[in-house]
Amino acid sequence: MRRPLVIPAAAAAGLALLTACTAGTESSGPPKVGASATDQTPVTIEFWHGFSADSELKAFEDTLAGFNQKFPWITVKATKAIQDDQIIQSVRGGNPPDVALSFTTDSVAEFCKAGIFQDLNPYLTASKIDGTALFPKVIDEYTQYDGKRCVLPMLADAYGLYYNKKLMQGNEPPKTLSELADLAKKLTVKNAKGDLEVAGFMPISQMYENSPIHTGVMVGAKWTNPDGTSAIGSDPQWKKLMTWQKDLTDWFGYDKIEKFRKSFGDEWSADNPFHKGKVAMAIDGEWRVAMLADSAPDLDYGTAPFPVADDQPERYGAGFITGTVIGIPKGAKHAEAAWELVKYLTTDTDALVTLSNAIRNVPSTLPALQSPNLKKDEHFQTFLDVFANPNSTTLPAHLNSVFNQQALQEAQIKWESGRADDLDALLADVDKRIDDKLKLTAGG
């Protein structure tokens, strides 16, 4: 599942440094694929991942048990709650794990260019695996950059709208932004002091999964032009979305809605406000289905696609697509054994279905999507449909993907909080920041 995007400046600098100093340092020649199967000398490999919820960790234990049965001489030492910056620093420091998992595709372009993960194309070729035939097109594309496939997909994420049926008071889930705004106002409950007790919907960009990378899909907004420069200021859809968000935020009162947001529990815990009935509708990923089953089993809720711009009804059913990616870091001590684990977690149908059924992520291979063992309840089916919708999108691969998202979200916070009053100028400044950064990166 996708975690909040946080890559510190020090880690970003590490990416730049690695880009400059790692060219040509990968080992030459084909990998010794299958060596671990014929040698069978006991080996322990380190596996870093970002999962932390109890249900996720249990799912991983069950899946790794299947790997251990197949490769009993390979012991997997798993470390949880790892973030991208820790992976970057481990490679930079010369002490990386053997296998590492990232919750986002945001840094794939930089990971590939900087050589943080090894190119897996030689491993796939040696194992006679055709990625273009195994993975759906959008997934196949976001694990590659500039001819390198430095990571493989391990489950995918699709985003949609969750709604509390009791709080909805019989209303159907909204299909347009105007319907969402009207219903958000109707379902909001305030106390005598005007403070929020229940929000129909939280429109601000700082609310958990409301970042522009997710909400931009509701209006079909573009991030970049064909040459990689920013399209944010010139695409009227961003202005449409941010105006809609600001209007609804102003209805709540920014200070009131921020006070309410800061009272919420951790997004990844049972204290999530949707679990507690404090918000009627929320943007979230498919993994919330498993979390609700685990920590709020009595909650009566539904799932639906994102509402879309009123003038784009044909786009209803689309959503944002991303996923978890996994690879072998540069400098891994046991690359052959590491490949066996990566291959198992990304291509084995039973392993992917086991994980999908447990943590409710979308399977990332065509055989797993079609498996009769894949559980498809009404809540989860919504996200399978979003995943299959031709209008669903992902973020285009870009060397400055992380920076671009941060630049836009910083502007959104200024706008919705009332600290900026000229939206055109604000978005033009976002374009300038992104394009200036692109010039520096391209010049490096």
pLDDT of residue 24: 36
pTM of the predicted model as reported, rounded to 2 decimal places: 0.82
User: Taking 90 as the threshold, does the pLDDT of residue 34 lie above it?
Assistant: no
Report the pLDDT value the prediction gives residue 31, as an integer from 0 to 100.
Answer: 59
Least confident of 5-14, 54-63, 402-411: 5-14
Beta bridge partners of 117: 329
The answer to whether residue 22 scores a pLDDT higher than 70 is no
Cα 98 to chain centroid, rounded: 23
CATH number at 158-315: 3.40.190.10
Calpha distance 350→353 (Å, rounded): 5
Helix (H, G, I), strand (E, B) or coil at 319: coil
Contact 134, 366 (CB under 8 A): yes
Q: Is the model's pLDDT at 118 over the cut of 70?
A: yes
**C-alpha separations of 148 from 11, 29, 142, 152, 399 in Å:** 22, 16, 11, 11, 14
Distances (CA, A) of 356 to 95, 318, 321: 31, 21, 16
Q: What's the confidence (pLDDT) of residue 38? A: 63
Question: Tens of pLDDT along 283-330?
Answer: 999 999 989 999 999 999 999 999 999 999 999 999 999 999 999 999
224-233 pLDDT tens trace = 999 889 999 9
Domains 9-156+321-388 and 158-315 share a fold: yes
Task: Name the amino acid, one letter, at 389.
Answer: N
pLDDT in tens, 179-195: 999 999 999 999 999 99
Contacts of 441 (CB under 8 A, 6+ apart): 399, 400
CATH topology of domain 9-156+321-388: D-Maltodextrin-Binding Protein; domain 2 (3.40.190)
| Domain ranges (residues) in the chain | 9-156+321-388, 158-315
267, pLDDT greater than 60: yes
Give the integer Cα–Cα distance in Å for 431 and 443. Answer: 18
pLDDT over 90 for what percent of the chain? 75
Mean pLDDT for all residues in the chain: 90
